[in-house]
Structure 1
Amino acid sequence: MNPLRQLISQTAIYGLSSILGRFLNYLLVPLYTYTFSAAEYGVVSEFYAYAGFFAVLLVFGLETGYFRFRQKPEYAGTEVYSSGLSFLTLINLCFVAGVWLWQQPLADALRYPDYPEYLLWFACILALDAVTALPFARLRAENRAWRFAGIRMAEIFITIGLNLFFLLLCPKLPALWPDSVLTEIYNPNLGVGYIFLSNLIASICKLLLLLPEFRAVPLRFDFSILGPMGRYSLPMVVIGFAGMVNEMLDRAILKIMLPYDLTTNLKMLGIYGACYKLSILMSLFVQAFRYAGEPFFFSYAGRADAKRAYALVMQYFVIAGVFIFLLVMLYIDLFKYFIGAEFRAGLAVVPILLLANLCLGVYVNLSVWYKLGDRTGLGAWVSLAGAALTIALNILWIPRWGYVGSAWATLACYFFMVCLSWLLGRRYYPVAYPLGKIGSYLALGLALYFANNYLLLYLRWNVWLSGTLGLMIYAGIVGIFDVRPLLKRR
């Protein structure tokens, strides 16, 4: 199969589990924002922000390390997998044990003294996700995308089903079936805790579905493999942690940095977290591309036309990303109903966050220079520079502009990382990216967005007419200048 076509097909399959599947999960946002207040939803946003940091730390960068070392002739792929999986299992068992012993002091420190079980549940969720990361990486490396997608989809459907059960059905059980045993189990005071509990049960089911991948090889520690793989992978932890700073720090510190009382700060955090969900289509597209792109970059690296293929991938990635930006923003009057009315005060951050996630996807494309050149340490410095900028801008802008300052800080950080990574890539792994065409499509997307705003605000056009016209113009230009020539070459 043509390599580019294979990458597109793999991205589509992974998209089935990440974009389509998580879009179904995304449909839970109306349930949350119509069920809970902004302050209650702020608790959810805060916990998942913390979870992002630990998710990076507990995997130790071994996903990328596995992709790299299974390709080396001096190592057997099964031995690399076995050693990495054994290490992750041991470390995460220790992590859960530590949280279990210290859950009450940790809950007191986070100002949730009445809900220490939240921390234990989250520790178990994080550990299960970390331990299953390597089996999922193995499925990706072996091009078993359908099994990967099936397990991911099962996890998502279980999560959705349990949320609907706990948040919609259980509150009605006392009136419908007063003698049911479920009425004794359900505790209405647990509130948003049922969101976490649903996630935990789904993670356990995911582990059970992946058991064949655990039984495929014996678990053992081979330090001749773990040593060099750890040296390669640990900078990826720095890169990933810095990436979490860029992605999650705003939601982790808004409760502390906003200049209001605790309840108001949680309300602002809830509004920002809900509006962040409206940029989820872009972030899910980037995630699906990353799932398919990382093994593609490594497997294609030795070919003569590799750099040409990477440039072409970048071009079509930006084309698709700009389309997603326009799809959301030209129909924002539809998308806004996915969140409750109380949360729509933060809609101004949505275009900023969409562009920020598009920049993140461009950075993922550019990252081939340090991954293929074994310069992960230098890549870590790029991420650390971005994280430092994120921290500084959030400290500077949150007290002044609130969560809007956080959104601008995210965009500024990712744009800075794109520029820095491109400059370093020119030196260490030069790829002739079509910068003119990429810039033209970005400019076209922004022009159509501002033109749509002008038509709506000043000429009073119909929302559907204006949005559809903008998308048709964009699709027509892409078809003429990129799709049509590609079909002719075929």
Structure 2
Amino acid sequence: MANLKSLAKDTAIYGLSSIVGRFLNYLLVPLYTHYMPKDSGDYGISTNVYAYTALILVILTFGMETTLFRFANDEKYKSDTVFSTAFATVGSLTAVFLLLIFGFISPISHALGYTEHPDYLLMMAVVVALDAIQALPFSYLRYQKRPIRFASLKMLFIVINIALNVIYFVLLGKTSVFYVFFINLLCTGLITFFFLPDLFRIKWKFDGKLLSEMLGYSWPILILGIAGILNQVADKIIFPLVYPDEADANVQLGIYGSCVKIAMIMAMITQAFRYAYEPIVFAKSKDSDKTQYYASAMKYFIIFTLLAFLCVMGWMPVLKLIIGADYREGLGVVPIVMMAEIFMGIYFNLSFWYKLIDKTIYGAWFSLAGCIVLLAVNIIFIPKMGYWACAWGGLAGYGTAMVLSYVVGQKKNPIPYPIRDIVYYFIASMTLFGMMKWFAIKTDWPEWALFLINNFLICGFVYRIIKCDMPLSSLPVIGKKFKKN
């Protein structure tokens, strides 16, 4: 329980930068959807370009974030040497990437449909390069158990980014997506500058033999990462390419991209959990009770992500106000995308069995299988179903990877997951969600009454958690007060 409390505490701190930061970034969604008219397609362009940058970032980091944890926790190596070797690798890849982009910007911008705006691609190329350079210092902060420093830098980026967006769009009346990319470039460059003190404290040493071992470990993670990020962004890359109405493609993608922002609450929770959980898993790999710990962590992760799902669905009358009125027609995809994110989080939890036995190739195959399913659903059904195919494709892709990882993992490295409890919570949450939908469709009650009913149902779910699985006295920090009472 002590380790679980530590996990919860670190998750809360990392979540401050992730959840609060994403919440503040939500303030940009109504800003963009108000100042960038739907018919301009600018929000769709933003969604498309950021999808490409997410994919490129995974390639440039080359799986070195997880590899850093694996080798830094190995007593044979000094952590600074591991960091130095990984950083040199990522830095070299990033330099080559920038040379290629700046050298061949004309054919690249033409191929991607941005012939008239190569400046968009150049700005975001520099942004993704700086993000890749920052990735390992951020990971090293996690290895060093410095969540406050980590969260402070993340929050600094977010606050400055929001402030500049408000200045440009609200005060100066700008309406072009150009300023979205320009502001991102300014903020990313500033955060890179703030990492200089951390880099100066490193005892730099490159180890070629160590690099060979690290690459052997990381390349399957790279394949896994590419397949994994494609599961998240492939729909946004493919959509303009296969949607039958080329002129309307960015408009529809803008609707989908704005509504998906609400579903990304689940991605925040998963990311915060990952930041805290990943270093702990490798550090605990030698303990005798590790399998029980992994099983408990999976259970509580699923419980709280399902609670988050119900909260978002129950609070949709309020949360939908985040999206501009012209974009709300796509809100129906939110529960599908949120459930896909839960599947992705479960898959992440399941992934440690092959990472801990250095069989990361399994993860590459699982993610590749999920990616193939997602691509097939998108390519086949986007022309017929539009952005609904994007939502269902993500669910099918993550579901495939999750099931494969569980089935193979229980044979190769079995962990006693509490399947009965997990299934119960899934059934309970889906039943409550069904009741919310039933009241919304079958009654003509005012929205405030439906909102109260939704919250009553959510409270019932919380009561079950407190009564059976997590009494208040067991919580970190505040649990002491309940024990006294």
The TM-score bracket by the shorter chain reads: over 0.9
Residue 216 of structure 2 aligns with an amino acid whose one-letter code is R
Determine if contact 1:103/1:117 at 8 Å carries over to the other structure: no
SS class of match (2:116): coil
CA distance in 2, matches of 1:349, 1:414: 16
Determine if contact 1:355/1:411 at 8 Å carries over to the other structure: yes
Asked if 1:245 is matched to 2:254, the reply is no
State which of 236, 239, 243 in structure 2 corresponds to 1:254: 239
**What is the match of residue 231 of structure 1?**
216
Q: CA deviation at 1:487?
A: 4.3
Q: CA deviation at 1:94?
A: 2.1
Asked if 1:97 is matched to 2:133, the reply is no
Query: What are the Cα deviations for residues 124-158 of structure 1, in whole angstroms up to 9, with x where unaligned?
Result: 11111101111111100010010000001001111
**What is the match of residue 212 of structure 1?**
197
**What is the match of residue 371 of structure 1?**
355
Residue 67 of structure 1 aligns with an amino acid whose one-letter code is F
Q: How does 1:23-422 map to 2 (within 5 A)?
A: 23-38=23-38, 39-171=41-173, 191-260=176-245, 262-422=246-406
State which of 458, 462, 468 in structure 2 corresponds to 1:475: 462
SS class of match (2:172): helix
Distance verdict in 2 for CA 1:387–1:486, change over 3 Å: farther
Determine if contact 1:92/1:130 at 8 Å carries over to the other structure: yes
Query: What are the Cα deviations for residues 296-325 of structure 1, in whole angstroms up to 9, with x where unaligned?
Result: 111111111111011111111111001110
CA distance in 1, matches of 2:19, 2:199: 26
Q: CA deviation at 1:456?
A: 2.4
SS class of match (2:372): helix
CA distance in 1, matches of 2:43, 2:474: 48
SS class of match (1:301): coil
Q: CA deviation at 1:364?
A: 0.9
Q: Give the structure-1-normalised TM-score.
A: 0.93
Give the root-mean-square deviation of aligned CA atoms. Answer: 1.7
Residue 442 of structure 1 aligns with an amino acid whose one-letter code is F
Determine if contact 2:370/2:399 at 8 Å carries over to the other structure: no
Residue 459 of structure 2 aligns with an amino acid whose one-letter code is M
**What is the match of residue 484 of structure 1?**
471
Q: Decide which moves more: 31-40 or 125-134.
A: 31-40
CA distance in 1, matches of 2:24, 2:308: 17
Determine if contact 2:80/2:205 at 8 Å carries over to the other structure: no
Q: CA deviation at 1:73?
A: 2.0
CA distance in 2, matches of 1:103, 1:26: 32
Q: CA deviation at 1:334?
A: 1.2
Asked if 1:466 is matched to 2:473, the reply is no
**What is the match of residue 22 of structure 1?**
22
Unpaired stretches in structure 1, ≥5 consecutive residues: 172-187
Q: CA deviation at 1:218?
A: 4.9
CA distance in 2, matches of 1:130, 1:256: 27
Determine if contact 2:55/2:226 at 8 Å carries over to the other structure: yes
CA distance in 1, matches of 2:441, 2:394: 28
Q: Decide which moves more: 315-324 or 70-79.
A: 70-79
Residue 63 of structure 2 aligns with an amino acid whose one-letter code is G
Q: CA deviation at 1:52?
A: 1.1
CA distance in 1, matches of 2:168, 2:106: 25
**What is the match of residue 176 of structure 1?**
none
Determine if contact 1:456/1:466 at 8 Å carries over to the other structure: no
Determine if contact 2:81/2:206 at 8 Å carries over to the other structure: no
Determine if contact 1:331/1:463 at 8 Å carries over to the other structure: no
Residue 117 of structure 2 aligns with an amino acid whose one-letter code is Y
Residue 26 of structure 2 aligns with an amino acid whose one-letter code is Y
Unpaired stretches in structure 2, ≥5 consecutive residues: none
Determine if contact 2:317/2:451 at 8 Å carries over to the other structure: no
SS class of match (1:303): coil
SS class of match (1:200): helix
Query: What are the Cα deviations for residues 308-357 of structure 1, in whole angstroms up to 9, with x where unaligned?
Result: 01111111111100111011111211111111111111111000001000
SS class of match (1:80): helix
Q: CA deviation at 1:220?
A: 4.7
CA distance in 1, matches of 2:443, 2:180: 44
Residue 136 of structure 1 aligns with an amino acid whose one-letter code is F
Q: CA deviation at 1:104?
A: 2.3
Q: CA deviation at 1:400?
A: 1.9
**What is the match of residue 440 of structure 1?**
424
SS class of match (1:132): helix
CA distance in 1, matches of 2:255, 2:189: 30
Determine if contact 1:86/1:219 at 8 Å carries over to the other structure: no
Q: CA deviation at 1:105?
A: 2.2
Distance verdict in 2 for CA 1:148–1:487, change over 3 Å: closer
Q: Give the structure-2-normalised TM-score.
A: 0.94
Residue 438 of structure 2 aligns with an amino acid whose one-letter code is Y
Determine if contact 2:80/2:204 at 8 Å carries over to the other structure: no
